[in-house]
């Protein structure tokens, strides 16, 4: 078993930091602009996590934005691991830091305590704020065929805001197409479709 990892605070030149070639996290131009604004207004809040040999584990987007703005000689705070992470540890850490381990927004609290225009300026999409958390309610009884999880009925019923659609599905084609899809996949497809309207 590998040694337990500890972290120390140090400083490094941006030019000495080595990005991970297969970093799966990307940043869009508008996101980079907001990140630059955040760094200008609040300075460095989060450190860049690196190996003892300066390989970046977390903070690639901050590194890109700072390098573009300040150049290679600019010094930043970093967290240095006590040992190099294996490739599997590095992949796992990346996913843990950015998917599922960092919590989610409570859209009711956002709606009641924040200004919508501010949230849009700070990076939220309109569809996120309109729909918030879509509650998933499994429909597993036979009923009249109106449930999206139905295998027995003749239709799929979709209700979005003021609109309700009954889609003919006598041969259960839609049901078969969706049965193996995750809730997140279907939710994402619905949000994407609505954004295109």
Mean pLDDT in order along the chain per 10 residues (197 residues): 88 96 85 87 91 95 90 95 93 81 72 82 72 51 45 69 76 78 80 78
- Token output for 44: 């460095």
* Structural Rg of the chain based on CA atoms: 23
* Closest-CA residue to 39 (of 5, 64, 8, 7): 64
Helices 29-42 and 60-70, interaxial angle, to 10°?
A: 70
Same domain, 136 and 154: yes
Query: Could you tell me the residue range of the domain that residue 13 belongs to?
Result: 7-98
pLDDT (0 to 100) of residue 164: 77
- Token output for 125: 């999409």
| DSSP conformation class of 101 | S
SS3 84: coil
pLDDT (0 to 100) of residue 101: 58
Same domain, 52 and 119: no
pLDDT (0 to 100) of residue 152: 57
pLDDT (0 to 100) of residue 145: 44
pLDDT (0 to 100) of residue 146: 45
**Residue at a domain's end among 67, 98, 129:** 98
Distance of CA 58 to the CA centre of its chain: 15
CB 148 within 8 A of CB 156: yes
Instruction: Give the number of other CB atoms < 10 A from CB of residue 181.
Output: 12
pLDDT (0 to 100) of residue 26: 84
Same domain, 92 and 115: no
């Amino acid at each position: 078993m590998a040694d337990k990892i500890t972290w120390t605070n140090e400083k490094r030149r941006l030019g000495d930091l080595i990005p991970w070639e297969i970093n799966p996290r990307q940043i869009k131009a508008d996101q980079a602009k907001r990140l630059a604004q955040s760094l200008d207004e609040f300075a460095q809040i989060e450190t860049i996590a690196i190996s003892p040999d300066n390989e970046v584990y977390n903070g690639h987007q901050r590194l890109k934005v700072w390098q573009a703005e300040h150049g290679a000689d600019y010094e930043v705070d970093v967290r240095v691991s006590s040992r190099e992470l294996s490739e599997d540890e590095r992949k796992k850490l990346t996913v843990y830091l950015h998917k599922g381990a960092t919590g989610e927004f409570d859209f009711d609290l956002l709606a009641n305590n924040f200004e919508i225009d501010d949230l849009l300026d700070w990076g939220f999409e309109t569809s996120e704020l309109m729909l918030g958390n879509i509650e998933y309610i499994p429909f597993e009884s036979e009923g009249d065929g109106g449930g999206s999880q139905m295998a027995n009925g003749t239709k799929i019923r979709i209700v979005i805001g003021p609109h309700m659609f009954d889609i003919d599905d006598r041969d259960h084609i839609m049901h078969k197409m969706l049965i193996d899809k995750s809730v997140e996949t279907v939710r994402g497809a619905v949000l994407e479709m609505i954004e295109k309207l």
